[in-house]
Amino acid sequence: MLSLVDVDLGYNQQIILPKVNLSFKANEHVAILGPSGVGKTTLLHHLYQQLAEQTCLCSQAQGLVDNLSMYHNVFIGGLARYSRWYNLANLLLPFNKPQQQIAAICQQLELTVPLQQKVSELSGGQRQRVALARALFQQQSVFMGDEPFSALDPLMGLRLLNLIKQTHQSVICVLHDAELALANFDRIIVISDGKVVLDDKAGQLSLAHLSQHYALADSPKHAVA
Amino acid sequence: MIAYSRYSFVGHWQKITLLLLLMVSVCWFFADTEVIALDPWSELGRMWQGFVHPDFFATEYLLDALWQTISFALFGITIGLLLGFPLALWYQHPLVAAMCAFIRAIHEIFWALIFLQIFGLSAITGILAIALPYAATFARVFADILQQAPMHTLFSLPKGTDKLSAFIYGRWMHMYPQIVDYIRYRFECALRSSAVLGFIGMPTLGFYLESAFRQGHYQQGGALLILFVLLIGSIRFWAKPIMLWLYLPLAVYFLPPIPVIDSQLIWRFISVDVLPPMLQGQPFLSWFDTDKLAQLVNWSYTLISQQVFPGMVATLVLAFCALGLTHVLTLVLLPFNTRLMMPKVVILIMRAVNLILRSLPEYLLAFVFMMLLGPSMLPAIIALALHNSGLMVFLMSRQADSVSVPLTYRPRIDQYSYLVLPAIYPHFMGLLFYRFEVIIRETAILGMLGVMTLGFYVDSNFSEIRFSGALLLLVFTAGLNVVVDYLARRLLHYPRNRLQAC
């Protein structure tokens, strides 16, 4: 699907990850792990730009528009499918069809608040699910997420991850929960010290392997978030 | 152990503040601040009596004047928006930005004086005088506001989204409330501008105000002022966006009949009147004769050395003194205006004081102070500072109220200085320097009161029907504004939130 060969990654002419070599196949579920500030997001954004035609991105910044309703925020995922006039008219008076589709998505994501609620009035976990809903509404084959479940409780996070896996061919996620990654992804990439230090099948790895490459929190599940 | 100099704690904003105060004290030294006591008390007493016993029925066309004031402001804002929105989208283009800077730099009252020559005392003059500079301001502020929209929504938009949808959903909707807020605030400014246009003869409140004060009819003047303050203070009750659909058609319907525009007059103005005297009525090719050119150079040199230069110096001195006083006044008044220092009752009273300070046209304030203190720069400085600090306190108190403080916070001046002031000071300074540009523009009106700023020379050129001289002065006035704006932008990093233009 995509191969990076000796690519220098960074922003503002500052290279964070020099000479990256990675390739991604379709139908793969990849988790990217590593300590904070090491360039995981930079890598993900680069991948997104390469595959933007077929990818939805659920970034950490979420990109929610606070002044719009939950419905409109999710609808943004579908902007490219409709004409500009349809989009504008929908801003003034929502159409029925997308409303039903979006209501269904929100139900799957366990978002029980009314669609017309402004997102500025939602909690952190609800906002994260609105961002996920927008990604789902894009109806793409590749899902890329930057810690897309970080504000959710672990069980709900797992349910939504499975939903994402069902609805997308390929999934590439930056995560901080190493256990979630080991148990639910095919492949683990660890980035540390400005390079890819580990890239292997998840089935062959354990927490002990990962902790050789970067300091894992002792018990991430019980740590106070 | 590392020994720190005590001065190494003097931070960026302290340095800028010190620099500002230094500049102000230098300017204060050169400013004419002599107090000439004229025994003003009897006059002031009568003025006070006028406010205590206002006569609301003395003005013959009171309702008419009120309605005209509102309708000029409405039209001005509407046309300003129609022009300003598209300009905001093109604002990145340096030519558009430069053109807007130039238009904005000339005060409404000067635009009115120019249009007065072309359209006479018609409604078009008043409306255009507001619409034009407001459009330029809208363009700049909207461009600034839209630039603040977070980029991450645009980044993660689905590939292939058309430009218009991306702009509306990804940018516009992010900043929509700020834009509406700004328009509402600008409407308040437009009401003030509209009233001020009365000073040069438009049929708005200012016209009746000025004549009442000039003739010493203080009961009438007091009533008009009270009405004006109430009008501005109650904006949010009567100027709801939905009401505009009612007001605008009414404004169109009740527009005073517009006299026929005499195209010959316009042609004469742009082809003859605006030319320097030695070129008027001369064939175009003869303009470049050496003796004509020599006369032209001579003419501009005289004008620049005798009017532009002294006017510019006086303008800057006046503006700097007013800026310094505004800084001090705002800092002193701010603690009385925030819920983090004062109980609700005090804040309510201060709100009223602020409203009066910022609604009163500087021109009238200066007029009153001139009676008290005699003719010098001092009345103008105080008037500008009072008006501007009223506005600054109004804007900054909202900022201060939104600062989040720890639960242990107690409303004491020390805690305020540690926890609140540092949080808002950068914004405060940015706002203050932005006001500098505004103050320079406002010195224009005070020029008409006889303070010898650039505005004074522009006004006298207009009244002596020397349009060419007036236009040359205006070009320099605009140039000064553009330069000051540019320098301030370079020196300071302005806060991006510029809901403070007026």
A195, β-bridge pairs: A192
A185 has a pLDDT exceeding 80:
yes
- For chain A, report the end-to-end CA distance as a whole number of angstroms: 35
H or E element in which residue B316 lies: helix B309-333
- Angle at which helices B467-491 and B94-105 cross, to 10°: 120
Q: Is residue B206 part of a domain?
A: yes
**CATH number for the domain that contains residue A152:** 3.40.50.300
Count Cβ neighbours within 10 Å for each residue of B415-428 and write b for 16 or more, e otherwise.
Answer: bbeebbbebbbebb
- At residue A23, what are phi and psi to the nearest 5 degrees? -135, 150
At A219 the pLDDT is 47
- At residue A192, what are phi and psi to the nearest 5 degrees? -155, 150
At B389 the pLDDT is 93
- At residue B400, what are phi and psi to the nearest 5 degrees? -65, -40
Same domain, yes or no, for B197 and B262?
yes
Interface check A225 vs B, CB under 8 A: no
Dist CA B408 CA B399 (whole Å): 20
Cβ separation A67–B173 shorter than 8 A: yes
Q: Are residues B125 and B202 in contact, defined by beta-carbon separation less than 8 angstroms? A: yes
Interface check A89 vs B, CB under 8 A: no
Same domain, yes or no, for B419 and B479?
yes
Count Cβ neighbours within 10 Å for each residue of B82-91 and write b for 16 or more, e otherwise.
Answer: ebbeebbeeb
What are the counts of helices (DSSP H) followed by strands (DSSP E) for chain A?
8, 8
Tokens standing for A197? 């230090």
**Chain A residues touching B174 at Cβ < 8 A:** 65-67
Dist CA A189 CA A192 (whole Å): 10
What total of structural domains would you count in chain A?
1
B1 has a pLDDT exceeding 60:
no
Q: Is residue B78 part of a domain?
A: yes
Dist CA B422 CA A134 (whole Å): 39
Q: Is residue A222 part of a domain?
A: no
Quick check: helix, strand or coil at residue A151?
Answer: coil
Dist CA A143 CA A48 (whole Å): 9
Q: Is residue B358 part of a domain?
A: yes
- A116-166, pLDDT tens digit by residue? 988 888 999 999 999 999 999 999 999 999 999 999 999 999 999 999 999
Q: Is residue A223 part of a domain?
A: no
A17, β-bridge pairs: A9
Whether ipTM tops 0.85, in short, is no
B200 has a pLDDT exceeding 60:
yes
Confidence grade of residue A85 (pLDDT, cut at 50, 70, 90): confident
At A210 the pLDDT is 84
Average pLDDT of the residues in B150-164: 85
Q: Is residue A202 part of a domain?
A: yes
Cβ separation A80–B169 shorter than 8 A: no
At B492 the pLDDT is 63
At B8 the pLDDT is 65
Quick check: helix, strand or coil at residue A14?
Answer: strand
The domain boundary, picked from B244, B273, B302, lies at B273
Residue of A nearest to B178 (CA): A67
A170, β-bridge pairs: A142
Q: Are residues B80 and B135 in contact, defined by beta-carbon separation less than 8 angstroms? A: yes
Place of tokens 């689905």: B158
Q: What is the mean pLDDT of chain B?
A: 84
Confidence grade of residue A107 (pLDDT, cut at 50, 70, 90): very high
Task: Look at the alpha carbons of B309, B313, B315, B316 in this order and tell me if their dihedral is positive or negative.
Answer: positive
Q: How far is B39 from chain A (nearest CA, A)?
A: 58
At A224 the pLDDT is 42
Q: Is residue A164 part of a domain?
A: yes
Same domain, yes or no, for B112 and B128?
yes
H or E element in which residue A6 lies: strand A2-11
- A160-183, pLDDT tens digit by residue? 999 999 999 999 999 988 889 999
Tokens standing for A159? 């349910």
- pTM (2 decimals)? 0.78
Average pLDDT of the residues in A11-38: 88
- At residue A168, what are phi and psi to the nearest 5 degrees? -130, 145
Average pLDDT of the residues in B465-488: 85
Q: How far is A19 from chain B (nearest CA, A)?
A: 25
**CATH number for the domain that contains residue B210:** 1.10.3720.10
Residue of A nearest to B168 (CA): A88
Q: Is residue A207 part of a domain?
A: yes
Interface check A53 vs B, CB under 8 A: yes
Three-state SS sequence of A43-108: HHHHHHHHHHHHEEEECCCCCCCCCCEHHHHHHHHHHHHCCHHHHHHHHHCCCHHHHHHHHHHHHH
Highest mean pLDDT among A11-15, B3-7, B131-135, B377-381: B131-135
Q: How far is A39 from chain B (nearest CA, A)?
A: 17
Cβ separation A59–B155 shorter than 8 A: yes
B415 has a pLDDT exceeding 90:
no
Dist CA B43 CA B383 (whole Å): 18
Confidence grade of residue A12 (pLDDT, cut at 50, 70, 90): confident
Q: How far is B235 from chain A (nearest CA, A)?
A: 24
Dist CA B31 CA B33 (whole Å): 6
**Chain A residues touching B148 at Cβ < 8 A:** none
Percent of residues, chain B, with pLDDT higher than 70: 94
The domain boundary, picked from B254, B273, B292, lies at B273
At A220 the pLDDT is 47
Average pLDDT of the residues in B412-421: 82
Cα B442 to chain center, whole Å? 6
Chain B contact probe: residue of A79, A85, A174 with most B CBs at under 10 A: A79
**Chain B residues touching A141 at Cβ < 8 A:** none
At A215 the pLDDT is 76
Q: Is residue A219 part of a domain?
A: no
The closest alpha carbon to A177, from A210, A131, A139, belongs to A210
B358 has a pLDDT exceeding 50:
yes
Q: Is residue B246 part of a domain?
A: yes
Confidence grade of residue A225 (pLDDT, cut at 50, 70, 90): very low
Same domain, yes or no, for B44 and B91?
no
Q: Report which of residues A225 and A110 the model is more confident about.
A: A110
Task: Look at the alpha carbons of B85, B90, B92, B95 in this order and tell me if their dihedral is positive or negative.
Answer: negative
> In A, residues 56-85, which contact B (CB 8 Å cutoff)?
56-59, 61-68, 72, 76-84
- B172-186, pLDDT tens digit by residue? 888 888 888 889 889
Residues with Cβ < 8 Å from B497, sequence gap 6 or more? B145, B148, B178, B427
DSSP state of B200: G
- B217-265, pLDDT tens digit by residue? 888 888 888 888 888 888 878 877 777 788 888 888 877 777 777 777 7
Confidence grade of residue B496 (pLDDT, cut at 50, 70, 90): very low
B81 has a pLDDT exceeding 60:
yes
Which residue range is the domain that position B396 belongs to? 11-49+284-502
A20, burial (CB in 10 Å: exposed 0-12, middle 13-18, buried 19+): buried
Q: Are residues B225 and B209 in contact, defined by beta-carbon separation less than 8 angstroms? A: yes
Tokens standing for A172? 């590439």
Same domain, yes or no, for B39 and B69?
no
Q: Are residues A185 and A173 in contact, defined by beta-carbon separation less than 8 angstroms? A: yes
Dist CA B307 CA B476 (whole Å): 11
What total of structural domains would you count in chain B?
2
Same domain, yes or no, for B291 and B268?
no
A209 has a pLDDT exceeding 90:
no
Same domain, yes or no, for B162 and B194?
yes
Q: Are residues A202 and A186 in contact, defined by beta-carbon separation less than 8 angstroms? A: yes
Q: Is residue B201 part of a domain?
A: yes
Which residue range is the domain that position A66 belongs to? 2-213
Which range is least confidently modeled, B281-295, B419-433, B488-502? Answer: B488-502
Cβ separation A79–B150 shorter than 8 A: no
The closest alpha carbon to B460, from B328, B329, B307, belongs to B307
Same domain, yes or no, for B405 and B296?
yes
Average pLDDT of the residues in B383-400: 90
At B318 the pLDDT is 92
Q: What is the dihedral of CA A30, A36, A37, A43, to 10 degrees?
A: 0
Same domain, yes or no, for B243 and B315?
no
Q: Is residue B3 part of a domain?
A: no
Nearest to B169 among A48, A83, A87 (CB): A87
B90 has a pLDDT exceeding 70:
yes
Interface check A87 vs B, CB under 8 A: yes
Tokens standing for A208? 């002990």
- Angle at which helices B218-233 and B41-52 cross, to 10°: 60
Q: Are residues B362 and B448 in contact, defined by beta-carbon separation less than 8 angstroms? A: no
The domain boundary, picked from B273, B299, B328, lies at B273
Tokens standing for B477? 């006035």
Q: Report which of residues A223 and B362 the model is more confident about.
A: B362
Interface check B164 vs A, CB under 8 A: yes
Q: Is residue B29 part of a domain?
A: yes
